[in-house]
Amino acid sequence: MHTTGGIARGRIKRMSVVVYPTLGGETDRFKALYQQLDALSRASALEDIYHAALASLLEATAADRAAILLFDIDGVIRFKAARGLSEAYQAAATGYSPWPRRTPRPQPLVVPDALLDQSLAPFQEALRQEGIASVAFLPLALDAGVFGQCIVYYAEPHECTADELEMANAIAAHLALAIERKRAEMECVRSEQLLQAIVDNSATILYIKDPEGRYLLVNRQFENRFHVTRAAVVGRTDYDLFPRELADEFRANDEAVLSAGKAVSIEECAPENNEMHSYVWVKSPLAGPDGSTAAIWGIATDVTERQQLEAASLRLAAIVESSDDAIISKDLNGIVTSWNQSAERIFGYTAAEMVGKPLSILTAPDRLDEMPRILDKIRRGDRVRHYETRRRRKDGLLIDVALTVSPVRNAAGRIVGASKIARDITDHKQAEKQRAVLMAREQEARRTAELLNRVAPRLAAQLDLEKLVQEVTEIATTLVGAERSAFFRTGADQKVPAQDALHHFHLPGHQELIDRTLRGEDIVRRADVTEDPGHSAIPEEDSEGLPAIRSYLSAPVIARSGEILGGLFFGHSAPDQFTEVHEAIVAGIAAQAAIAMDNANLFERAQWVQAELRRSNEELRRVNHDLEVFAYSASHDLQEPLRTISISAQILERNWGQHLESDDTLFLKNILNASSRMVVLIEDLLAYTRATKYEEGPAPQVDSARVLTNVLESMQGTIVESGAIVTAGDLPVISFHESRLAQLFQNLIGNAIKYRSKEVPHVHITAAARDGWCVFSVVDNGIGIDSQYAERIFGLFKRLHSREEYPGSGIGLAICQRVVEQYGGRIWLERSTPGGGSTFSFSLPAGRR
């Protein structure tokens, strides 16, 4: 079944509403009906409305069952309330309406025999099963047309009366109004809720106040910001919420808005969590229905962070501008978006010239692919750090720069460009280059020094002057890579003829250059001597067939004394062969050569001196030997005639003594005395000669205590006769010839007893180690010696007494001194006072341990 224009086809009758006079018998029914309608009007819940409507319909139409269906928002009509209808039926009948939605001015439709009606054919089975025989459709419509329907059902075929229909229609009209009212109410609540939800979810702070400043509404942001609840705020003023000065300011601003009568933008500050926040308010008066001002509303945005960000970005901008580095930003196409003052200074372009232009303007010609590569990295989100490259300034000059390029992202994290910091490192690079040059020079100098240090010992070890000169020349030639070289020696002992060497070196026309060096003036280095002004044309080859010299280098060799020993000369047939380094090497070798030559000279001289010494020693030994032989043979040979004289004089005295005059006897006695003294003297002289004879071979180890014991035994007669007491301390083993030590003890102990005083002679012998020597001392209590004679007494034949006082010939101490000195030792009078005894000491080499 389908309907058009609200008119049903087939057997559905179009009904017109007829008003019948009220009959007395039905008063109760009407009463009940009115009550139902009254309840319908009063009901506030939709359910109650439906309930009252269904009850009224059943009451008015005597139908068994009834239902209310409404079009939903999707255009399908659905059961909203029903009486006596099964779920199955409701499901089957859902969606059916005789009138399309919003049909204007529809009329009720009655189907007295629903099972026969073709228009309801699709529902007949459902109708039958539900036991419905007749139905009446009552439209629910208002100005906007149909929005639903009421349906009443009868179990038997039923012709509705005009009353029934009119009543039902009136109920439907009531119901339509009640639903509409309810819907409007709900819509109102919903939109209020929506408004509050919107207001609450707004990021801004919002309020509405009445003209007196009392809050009517605040949103959640307001509550959160100022830590208040909506319930606590509504009805209060700013004076209840904020400090007085702030409340005064807010009130004054509100009043200004009210008097302006239009929306005003105001900046206010209010505390939040102990911090003052800045808000930008838009405040506006709100007109009531009658046009008068009913309220004032305000919406605020917290701009604290924005202001802080602005301040931070201003600071950042100041930093960027004041930076010494160029700070540039560009987009992902390489177009410059910002350009600071240092960028202007470094690259020469102004910001106006560069912003909006491609940064590739700065590309150095040899680095065309570099910027696209950097941009690719940036697009991938990578950073480029401390990248050293080259850029071209506006004036075309190429400069060295160090770059750091970082991607710039937008708030969503997407890379939108790059920031670039460029530092001009041209000076730095220059300094680095210079440093590298200096380092290289220093290394070269060190290498040269090491080389010379290695050369020095070789030269120093060479003490043969001729070989030295040759070696110096060879080493230097190798080190400087010369083709030709020469060492010219000057001075008195010059052995290499300068002219020959010069000829070999072959540099005609440059005598002055060579002379400068030989005068010791300076090192000379020429890249090409053929370009010298005084250069005379020289043949391509010299007489030896060697190519002519062009590169030239020479250095004087000067001794420490300042004496010029000669010069080192180097040449090469190619120009520009000798460098500063070669100059340094040659200077070093010349210095080493001078030292080595000094050494060699000294060595030569020392060798000469040594040879001289050896010769004179030999001479001395020969003379000594001759002297010894002479002294020995003289004393020996003298003894023979002396004995003849002595014996002859004795015979004369014996045979003729009593016949002689007294004077003659005296003369004879003199002869006898003189000859016997002569015998003693000659014996002493022989003893001295023997003492000066060096004992051959190394000195053996000898126990000095044992030697002393032997000596004392041999002197037993003298000791006993004089009553002397001889004692000794610990005496060591020493390296000495035993007979010599015995000689020393014998002489000194003999003297100690001989030169005794009136007291019993006491002699004490000690020994002590001192500085690697063994010092013996012989202490006596004799007559002592005046200190002025301390040296003299060691002289040959030197005595302090006459032979009558003390016999002797003054040779004992002289012998002791000779013996001790032959072993490198010393003898001296340690201590002595006349009448107070003497101490003689002598030092001998200590024995091996």
Closest contact distance (angstroms) between CB of 724 and ligand ADP is 12
Nearer to ligand ADP, 108 or 782 (CB): 782
Q: How far is the CB of 681 from ligand ADP (least distance, A)?
A: 11
Smallest gap, in angstroms, from Cβ of residue 798 to ligand ADP? 6
CA distances from 373 to 334, 383, 384, 415 (A): 11, 12, 10, 16
Of the candidates 314, 354, 348, which has an alpha carbon nearest to the alpha carbon of residue 334? 354
513 or 813: CB nearest ligand ADP = 813
> Minimal distance in Å, beta carbon 674 to ligand ADP?
18
Of the pair 36, 832, the CB lying nearest ligand ADP is at: 832
Q: Residue 780 Cβ, how far from ligand ADP at the closest point, in Å?
A: 5
* Closest to ligand ADP by CB, 582 or 818: 818
Q: How far is the CB of 809 from ligand ADP (least distance, A)?
A: 5
Nearer to ligand ADP, 233 or 712 (CB): 712
* Closest separation in Å from C-beta 811 to ligand ADP: 6
Please give the residue ranges that form the binding site for ligand ADP (CB under 6 A): 751-752, 755, 780, 782-783, 785, 793, 799-801, 808-814, 838
824 in Cβ contact with 844 (< 8 Å): no
For 35, residues 6+ apart whose C-beta sits below 8 A from its C-beta are none
Q: Which is nearer to ligand ADP, 265 or 833 (CB)?
A: 833
Phi, psi dihedrals of residue 129, rounded to the nearest 5°: -60, -30
- Phi/psi for 452 (5° steps) reads -65, -35
Nearest distance from C-beta of residue 632 to ligand ADP, angstroms: 21
Residue with tokens 């010349």, as numbered in its chain: 590
Find the shortest distance in angstroms from Cβ 824 to ligand ADP. Answer: 22
Q: Which residue has the tokens 């809720």?
A: 193
The amino acid sitting at 811 is I
| 783 or 844: CB nearest ligand ADP | 783
Distances (CA, A) of 487 to 190, 620, 811: 120, 44, 65
State the DSSP string of 310-344.
HHHHHHHHHHHHH-SSEEEEEETT-BEEEE-HHHH
Number of H helices, E strands in the chain: 23, 27
The least CB distance from residue 721 to ligand ADP, in Å, is 17
Give, for 392, the enclosing helix (H) or strand (E): strand 384-392
Query: How far is residue 828's CA from residue 838's CA, in Å, rounded to a whole number?
Result: 11
Rounded to whole angstroms, the Cα distance separating 240 from 70 reads: 51
Chain center to CA of 84: 95
Contacts of 821 (CB under 8 A, 6+ apart): 827
- Stated as kind and residue range, the H or E segment containing 109 is strand 109-111
Q: Provide, rounded to whole angstroms, the least separation between the CB of residue 799 and ligand ADP.
A: 4
Of 716 and 802, nearer to ligand ADP (C-beta) is 802
Question: What's the CA gap between 490 and 513, in Å, rounded?
Answer: 16
Task: Supply the minimum distance, in Å, between the C-beta of residue 615 and ligand ADP.
Answer: 35
Q: List the beta bridge partners of residue 522.
A: none
Supply the minimum distance, in Å, between the C-beta of residue 838 and ligand ADP: 5
- When the beta carbons of 313 and 833 are compared against ligand ADP, the nearer one is 833
Whole-number Cα distances in Å, 278 to 281, 307, 697: 10, 8, 118
Least separation in angstroms between CB 597 and ligand ADP: 55
Pick the closer one to ligand ADP by CB: 624 or 833. Answer: 833
With contact defined as beta carbons under 8 Å apart, do 101 and 75 qualify? Answer: yes
- Nearer of residues 783 and 820 to ligand ADP, judged by Cβ: 783
Kindly tell me which of 455 and 814 has the beta carbon lying closer to ligand ADP: 814
DSSP state of 406: E
Nearest partner of 735 among 758, 703, 775, 709, judged by Cα: 703
Q: Report the distance separating Cα 123 and Cα 111, nearest Å.
A: 13
Length of the chain in terms of residues written = 849
* CB of residue 793 to ligand ADP, shortest distance in Å: 4
Q: Which residue has the tokens 């000065």?
A: 245
Q: What ranges in 81-235 are assigned the alpha helix state H?
A: 87-93, 124-130, 162-201, 220-226, 230-233
Nearer to ligand ADP, 324 or 805 (CB): 805
Nearer to ligand ADP, 782 or 847 (CB): 782
User: Could you write out the three-class secondary structure of 552-606?
Assistant: EEEEEEECCCCCEEEEEEEEECCCCCCCHHHHHHHHHHHHHHHHHHHHHHHHHHH
Handedness of CA 742, 748, 751, 752 (dihedral sign): negative
- CA dihedral for 464, 466, 469, 475, sign (positive or negative): negative
Q: Is residue 297 classed as helix, strand or coil in its secondary structure?
A: strand
Cβ 717 to ligand ADP shortest distance, Å: 18
Minimum Å gap between C-beta 752 and ligand ADP is 5
Residue whose token pair is 């004393």: 635
Q: Minimum Å distance from CB 650 to ligand ADP?
A: 26
Nearer to ligand ADP, 394 or 798 (CB): 798
Query: Is the CB of 219 or the CB of 838 nearer to ligand ADP?
Result: 838
Q: Are strands 762-770 and 725-728 parallel, antiparallel or unpaired?
A: parallel
Q: Which is nearer to ligand ADP, 346 or 813 (CB)?
A: 813
C-alpha–C-alpha distance, residues 155 and 337, integer Å: 86
Q: Which is nearer to ligand ADP, 396 or 717 (CB)?
A: 717
**Residue 140 and residue 108 in contact, taking contact as beta carbons nearer than 8 Å:** no
Angle between helices 738-754 and 812-822 (to 10 degrees): 150
Q: Is the dihedral of CA 355, 361, 364, 368 positive or negative?
A: positive
